Amino acid sequence: MTDVPPRAVPHRHAGIDFSVSATVLESLDANKLADFYEALLGWTRIYEEPGWVMLRPPNGGPGLSFNTDALYRPPTWPARGPHQQMQAHMDFLVSDLPMAVEHALATGARLADHQPQDDVRVLLDPAGHPFCFFVEAG
């Protein structure tokens, strides 16, 4: 592993320090999904063990972690009937929407069939988790 980037600055509330450490994504293969996000975002792999991988942005802050779950089922987006529904998704602010989409597709993402907004692109990672790219308005 490489040098560990700093964690997010905690916020003190009710006498307790709180900070978001990571968002955790389940998949059938934690390493494969971590490889995708490592290539997509250029983040640093700071820890791994069988079935668990942690990434963090090089400049610090909350990271992404990946857990292997043999019973994982990809979410359905948009939601349909009795299928596994999306429980959460990530929004990434990008500087160039078309370039970010092209990069994501080259690293293994797929464009979602349903695109609800002209200025946002919904993509699916290799495990089927939806994520969005958007640019700042104005």
pLDDT digits (tens, 9 = 90+) for 88-110: 788 999 999 999 999 999 999 99
Tens of pLDDT, residues 23-73: 999 999 999 999 999 999 999 999 999 999 999 999 888 999 999 999 998
Does the domain spanning 1-7+18-71 belong to CATH 3.30.720.120?
A: yes
Q: Is 131 exposed, middle or buried (0-12, 13-18, 19+ CB in 10 A)?
A: buried
**How far from each other are the two terminal CA atoms of the chain, in whole angstroms?**
40
Instruction: Find the DSSP H helices in the chain.
Output: 30-41, 97-107
* Residue 73 in tokens: 């089922």
Q: Note the pTM of the prediction, 2 decimals.
A: 0.83
How would CATH label the architecture of 73-138?
Roll (3.10)
* Residue 52 in tokens: 């668990």
